[in-house]
Amino acid sequence: MASAVASRVLQPIGTAGKLFAFGLDVARNLFKRPFQAREFIQQAWFIASVTIIPTALVAIPFGAVIALQVGSLIKQFGAQSFTGSASVLAVVQQAAPIATALLIAGAGGSAIAADLGARKIREELDAMMVLGIDPIQRLVVPRVLACMMVAVFLNGLVTVVGVAGGYVFNVVLQDGTPGAYIASFTALAQLPDLWVGLIKALVFGLIAAVVAAYKGVNAGGGPKGVGDAVNESVVITFLLLFVVNLVISAIYLQIIPPKTG
């Protein structure tokens, strides 16, 4: 009884250690040659094709909700002139990276886990190892790099669409002034805010790809095991993304002083 309880308690710790070790293996294989350029291009195109339209559609309500909520709160304090800068800060620093991460993990990450899991149960990965081919260097590294690159581009897309959507909703529904909304961009926002959003997207894409690849490579139990691996990869990625987002945001706010209007 005691041993069963101890194993249940220690199992998450062991899984976290294996995931971290897998991430180190991926980092070590990033510099191995030859680089699988064709696989990288194919995976980048596939991930972009399954995420770009949902990301653009999700960005519109994200920007609208933030603009409406922020505009309503600021209006209560009589500071309507800062609506634009506050909305842009919320979109650039938080909404855009998180929306990008959720779509990358939900669409791209699940596809990676399913693909690698299917290869695992068909014993393709074992066959590659017998032939002296490292599956991590051949299959995982291109997918990780593709996820990171696509996440950065999607973050830019969400930022542009979110800011534009917030502008439209603020001007149309809240009777905001277009000139004041645009002019207030530089009141509180600064260039490091854009950089931290890009860094978040890059890190989130890395986490989503590594977790999905780990669950796919370690899938077992037939098709049901592959489905379980996909579900677990998405859930674990979501949890890690919110924790990492909190850590990065806290560090950023400590290092970069906020700009005062």
CA nearest neighbour of 204 among 253, 231, 162, 239: 239
Give the Cα separation of 218 and 95 in Å (integer): 32
User: Residue 2: is its pLDDT beyond 60?
Assistant: no
Interval 75-132: pLDDT, tens? 666 666 666 667 777 778 888 888 888 888 888 888 888 888 888 888 888 888 888 8
Give the Cα separation of 248 and 256 in Å (integer): 12
How sure is the predictor about 47, in pLDDT bands with cuts at 50, 70 and 90?
confident
The answer for 170, left when phi > 0, alpha when psi is -120 to 50, beta otherwise, is alpha
Give the Cα separation of 217 and 220 in Å (integer): 9
- Kindly report which listed range (31-45, 173-187, 206-220, 231-245) carries the lowest average pLDDT score: 173-187
The sign of the dihedral angle between the CA atoms of 119, 124, 129, 132 is: negative
Query: What's the N-to-C CA distance of the chain in angstroms?
Result: 62
What's 117-164 look like in SS3?
Answer: HHHHHCCHHHHHHHCCCCHHHHHHHHHHHHHHHHHHHHHHHHHHHHHH
CA nearest neighbour of 159 among 62, 73, 83, 249: 62
- Kindly report which listed range (1-5, 113-117, 248-252) carries the lowest average pLDDT score: 1-5
Give the Cα separation of 21 and 143 in Å (integer): 18
Query: Where do the H-state alpha helices sit in the chain?
Result: 2-29, 37-76, 83-90, 96-103, 110-121, 124-130, 135, 141-173, 178-183, 185-188, 191-217, 222-255
6-17: average pLDDT: 64
Q: What is the pLDDT of residue 176?
A: 67
Q: What is the pTM of this model?
A: 0.85
Interval 133-189: pLDDT, tens? 888 888 888 999 999 999 988 888 888 887 777 777 777 776 667 666 676 666 677
User: Residue 1: is its pLDDT beyond 60?
Assistant: no
Residue 177: how many other CB atoms lie within 10 Å: 15
CA nearest neighbour of 104 among 229, 234, 7, 224: 234
Q: What is the pLDDT of residue 76?
A: 66
Q: How many residues does the chain have?
A: 261
Q: What is the pLDDT of residue 10?
A: 61
215-242: average pLDDT: 84
63-81: average pLDDT: 68
CA nearest neighbour of 85 among 171, 165, 166: 166
